[in-house]
Every structure is written in C-alpha cells, then in structure tokens.
Structure 1
Amino acid sequence: MDVTFSRYDPADFLKSEADIAAYLDAAAEDGDTAVIAAALGDVVRARNLSKLSRDTGLSREGIYKALSGEGNPSFATIGKIADALGLRISFQPNHQAITPAP
C-alpha cells in the first residue's frame, strides 16, 4: 500500500488574528531568533506578500530572505513587517531569568 504525504505549511492554518498571535507567542517562547523569524515568515505567507512589500518598502525577495529562518533580519526590518501586518512587538519579564534584588 502506497502512502502519500502532503507538505505541511503552517501558513495554511493561520486564519485569524488569534491564530497568528498564538503562533508567534509559541515561537517566541523558544527564544531562538531564527525560529521567530521563520514563524513571522509563515505569517507573511498567510497574508498578502505583495501588499506587505508595498507597505514596508521592502522587496518580496528581501522579505523572503530575511524571514527564511536562515536570514538575519535587523530589528528595524522586523518592526516594519510587524507594523505592516498590524502586529505590536511587546516584551514581558522572563520570570525564570529574573534574579531577586539583594
């Protein structure tokens, strides 16, 4: 019996703002910047890349390269992309890393 597999693409499942926020939060928990960039790339693929390119002033190829997981996007690039996607970057304390004051 032949078994066939289809390619899994997370972008196919990012339908709502809540889906996107939960997906990016999960990626950020790891702390690996390559994982975060790749997850943001999945979000970009789930949206309209051409519009995002126009809104950010970045080329489609530049966006793909920066968010490939192997790219190294600047914080300014991440900020432009997040803003164009209607996302806000926020920071929360990492309670595991906080040491109490003496």
Structure 2
Amino acid sequence: MPVTIRSFDISKHLKTDEDIQGFLEEVISTGDDSDFIHALNIAARAKGMTEIAKQVGVTRASLYKSLSGNGNPRFKTTSKIVKALGCKLTVARRSDKA
C-alpha cells in the first residue's frame, strides 16, 4: 500500500497571537539566530505577509527576501517584525550561564 506524504506548514496552525508568541518563545529558547529568522518568516506568513510588510514599512517582496534562508535582516527590521506580530523583544539572564 503506497504511503501518502503531505507537506506540513506550521504557519497554518498559528491561529492566534498567543500561538505565535509561544512559537517564537520556543524557537528563541531552543534554536539559533537563523532558526529565529526562519520562525519570523513562518509567523509573518501566518499573520499575512502583506499586512506585516505594511506595518514594518517595507514591501512584501523585501520582507520575503529579508526572512528568506539567505536573508540577513537588520536588527531594526527584526524588531519591527516582532512588534508587528504582537510581541516584543526582551533581555533576560540566561539560566545556563554558558
């Protein structure tokens, strides 16, 4: 019997601001900086790239480029994206002190 494989798009499961916040918190605590940029891409798609781009003050194409695998958004852009997603960046003491 053949096995059917379907692609899984996390963005389709991020329905609320709380979902997005929890997703970003998990990625920032377990991943690295490229994982976080990828997570911002997923969250922006969940909220709507066009709307996020408007709030950030960039074109939709520019936002896609910034959040692509080869993108390297400036801190100012990243901060604006996080804010447009209904979140905020904070600094906390690391518990592992590595």
TM-score, structure 1 as length reference: 0.86
Matches within 5 A, 1:17-96: 17-96=17-96
User: Which stretches of structure 1, 4 residues or more, deviate above 4 A after TM superposition?
Assistant: none
Matched, 1:10 2:22: no
Q: CA deviation at 1:85?
A: 2.0
For 1:83, give the aligned amino acid: K
Tell which structure's C-alpha radius of gyration is larger: 1
Q: How far did 1:70 drift?
A: 2.9
Aligned residue identity for 1:19: D
Separation in 1, partners of 2:49, 2:10: 16
State the alpha-carbon separation in 1 of the partners of residues 28 and 94 from structure 2.
Answer: 12
| Residue deviations 1:25-73 (CA, integer Å, cap 9, x gap) | 1110135110000001100000121122222111111111211233111
Structure 2 gap segments, 5+ residues each: none
The one-letter code of the counterpart of 2:89 is I
Separation in structure 1 between the aligned mates of residue 24 and residue 69 of structure 2, nearest angstrom? 14
Q: Which gives a bigger RCO, structure 1 or 2 (Cα 8 Å, sep 6+)?
A: 2
Residue aligned with 1:76, SS:
helix
SS for the counterpart of 1:80 is: helix
**How far off its partner does 1:22 sit?**
1.2
Name the CA distance, whole Å, in 2 between partners of 1:89 and 1:40.
12
TM-score by length of 2: 0.89
Structure 1 residue 16 displacement after superposition: 1.6
User: Structure 1 vs Structure 2: percent identity of aligned residues?
Assistant: 33
Residue 63 of structure 1 aligns with an amino acid whose one-letter code is L
